[in-house]
Amino acid sequence: MNAEITDVMVHVNETLNEQALHTLEDAMRGDRGVISVGHNPRHPHLLLVAYDSAVARSSTFMHQFQDRGMHAQLV
């Protein structure tokens, strides 16, 4: 199986501290198709998400933000 890696930037509306961001990243890494998640401490509202587009769609993991009680948009 070939991975089709896609990167997207996600803007999280909520203000999260470093610990909350790391917790969110760890949880997202367990989402189906998500390969990597990271943020720059200078821009805590932005997450870079790499995922396998052969396995998942951005809309799928975007719904996970709602399930976690957050609001986010693709940038």
pLDDT at 1: 56
- pLDDT tens digits for 45-56? 999 999 999 999
What strand order describes the sheet that includes 46-52? 34-39, 46-52, 5-12, 72-74
Domains of the chain: 5-74 (3.30.70.100)
- pLDDT tens digits for 7-60? 999 999 999 999 999 999 999 999 889 999 999 999 999 999 999 999 999 888
> 3: pLDDT confidence band, cut at 50, 70 and 90?
confident
Global pTM? Answer: 0.88
* DSSP 8-state assignment for residue 44: T
